[in-house]
Structure 1
């Protein structure tokens, strides 16, 4: 018999069923920014003040940078350490969608902004001290970290650091403004929720294989990293939002999502005021308004539901629900993640 040189992918015989479920979820919710009628938001855009225009532009510039980092370096870094062939396929899908996310912001810019304004946005993005530090903190881990450290950095990026930017369009949506711009953000959030949960799940598999000492050391490193990122994120948020007076509210939203990032990694929450009821209800209204589907792991929809892990209450993840119907426990990827601990 000829020795196997290259192994073909057999989706009918998988090492980890979560890979298949995640692949099916991600492909079922595929979208492109060209399908969203952004020009319908121009009337709302004209009602915003110059300071608000600047905030929106800089917010999306920052998000563009982070999605560019994730699509060009982050996923490639984690692809080197996949456990299964199907996991590689899932990461390939994630990498492509991160590029779609980054491109989507340029579609928003071309609709809302002049050429001169777009140049200013990207110049600000490429030279903002705290934004560049954020990218460096994460990319240094992607380039030099251990496999599990890379996954921690990715989950912190997708489940925490993005949300200083996501706050703005969700706030406007909660005030019945910029609905189509916010629709793109909700689609991105929907993707990032799956990405953060899946990568967190893969982290937990590796974490559970470590010795107690190795686990303790990694947890110390993880929380130290979160403190470093949070400190920088606070400075970034203050610079970004000081002119419109939203700093304190955005920081609460960040703490809420930092706790969710930790939960995706199977860890305990850190911030006592990081609960849904602590977040500005206008933003929560923006998250929940107009969702086309409330079963996260069954059909295409744009509801905002974070990954469910054991230490979080189910009510913390009901943000995008418009009714009482829930995905059956046996059909949910998140219910399987809960069984890891």
Structure 2
């Protein structure tokens, strides 16, 4: 049985500033970015900071007018997906914060703190979207979906089991398992939801919402990249975990997650004209392959090395420069709200 980890002390001056291990090691708690174990992580930290944004920067005035014009089924889908995303980011904020408390390396603590803050912004943005388009009672009803919808509960069950294991039994193995499921959340679970909002946008509907989603998407790409690197680095340090059995567990977890994501996408997107469910399933498998490659693992869906949803590529395929799609390019010039615009347009 693995030894339980303890939450890292705030300062231990007799320990070195550079951590001996990422988790379960020794470190003073003093962060010197010029003397960290993985120097390139400072660039990741700076990229994360450069992505700072707030939901009230996005002009939602056109969405206010357009939401009532959507079909009832599209409105219902909109609310279900918002509930899914809010459920994920609510849990992710807490999980990332909890993981950071066990990280010996202060650079990991700092990066995870930024990620947790961004997840909190994401969660707040879903409330902001709903407050723009539906009254309070409808907003509250939407946030109830995440804990009542049977398909959604089935969809989230394994994720919550893994996340709660590290709460109850904080071992290094459970932390790495949590990080693996974080790559699933950041790199796979959001994407059928994102696709729906991008689909509305390409029909020139709900542009404010899609702009906000594109900011969230950009953040999640960075989160997934760092967490993948953190997994690889931790397994390199803790070779007792880096076993065939553990790698097979990762593959099994990804296959189960893909099946659940396809089931969810069929359920929530089945009626949406213009989204091909076979392409959606291929897109999900392509996302799984991409996240496995980021962990330097083999692809499990060899027929889906390329994204079959051609129109969505600008939003989700670019890890190094995600400000390439139309809405990202234009959002800072025409969708920011100030006291002088936005509300006058309602």
1:38 corresponds to 2:57: no
8 Å Cα contact 2:129/2:209 also seen in 1: yes
Pick from 71, 74, 83 the counterpart of residue 93 of structure 2: 71
Cα distance in structure 1, aligned partners of 2:324 and 2:93: 23
1:256 is displaced (CA, Å) by: 2.0
1:276 is displaced (CA, Å) by: 4.0
SS at match of 1:17: coil
Question: Which residue in 1 is equivalent to 2:80?
Answer: 58
Deviation per residue, 1:163-184 (Å, 9 max, x gap): 1211111112223222221111
Pick from 281, 287, 296 the counterpart of residue 320 of structure 2: 296
1:282 corresponds to 2:311: yes
Deviation per residue, 1:69-122 (Å, 9 max, x gap): 1002x2034224435211100000100110100110111111122333323322
1:258 is displaced (CA, Å) by: 1.4
1:53 is displaced (CA, Å) by: 0.8
Q: Which has the larger radius of gyration?
A: 2
Question: Which residue in 2 is equivalent to 1:259?
Answer: 289
1:269 corresponds to 2:305: no
8 Å Cα contact 2:201/2:207 also seen in 1: yes
Pick from 129, 134, 153 the counterpart of residue 108 of structure 1: 129
Cα distance in structure 2, aligned partners of 1:231 and 1:99: 28
1:197 is displaced (CA, Å) by: 0.5
8 Å Cα contact 2:63/2:205 also seen in 1: yes
1:29 is displaced (CA, Å) by: 1.3
Higher relative contact order (CA 8 A, sep 6+): 2
Pick from 6, 11, 14 the counterpart of residue 4 of structure 1: 14
8 Å Cα contact 2:33/2:39 also seen in 1: no
Question: Which residue in 2 is equivalent to 1:311?
Answer: none
CA 272–172 in structure 1, closer or farther in 2 if over 3 Å, else same = farther
CA 3–81 in structure 1, closer or farther in 2 if over 3 Å, else same = closer
Cα distance in structure 2, aligned partners of 1:228 and 1:95: 26
SS at match of 1:271: coil
CA 202–30 in structure 1, closer or farther in 2 if over 3 Å, else same = same
Pick from 254, 258, 264 the counterpart of residue 226 of structure 1: 254
SS at match of 2:147: helix
CA 202–53 in structure 1, closer or farther in 2 if over 3 Å, else same = same
Cα distance in structure 2, aligned partners of 1:266 and 1:85: 25
CA 3–206 in structure 1, closer or farther in 2 if over 3 Å, else same = closer
Give the TM-score of the pair, scaled to structure 1.
0.78
Deviation per residue, 1:16-58 (Å, 9 max, x gap): 2122111111111100101000122234334321111111111
Cα distance in structure 1, aligned partners of 2:99 and 2:143: 27
Cα distance in structure 1, aligned partners of 2:240 and 2:31: 35
8 Å Cα contact 2:282/2:308 also seen in 1: yes
Question: Which residue in 2 is equivalent to 1:170?
Answer: 198
8 Å Cα contact 1:101/1:188 also seen in 2: yes
Find runs of 4+ consecutive structure 1 residues off by over 6 angstroms: none
SS at match of 1:208: helix
1:161 is displaced (CA, Å) by: 0.8
8 Å Cα contact 2:235/2:241 also seen in 1: no
SS at match of 1:203: helix
Cα RMSD, aligned residues only: 2.7
CA 212–92 in structure 1, closer or farther in 2 if over 3 Å, else same = closer
Cα distance in structure 1, aligned partners of 2:319 and 2:268: 34
Give the TM-score of the pair, scaled to structure 2.
0.77
Cα distance in structure 2, aligned partners of 1:85 and 1:25: 18
8 Å Cα contact 1:138/1:153 also seen in 2: yes
1:212 is displaced (CA, Å) by: 9.0
Cα distance in structure 2, aligned partners of 1:3 and 1:261: 38
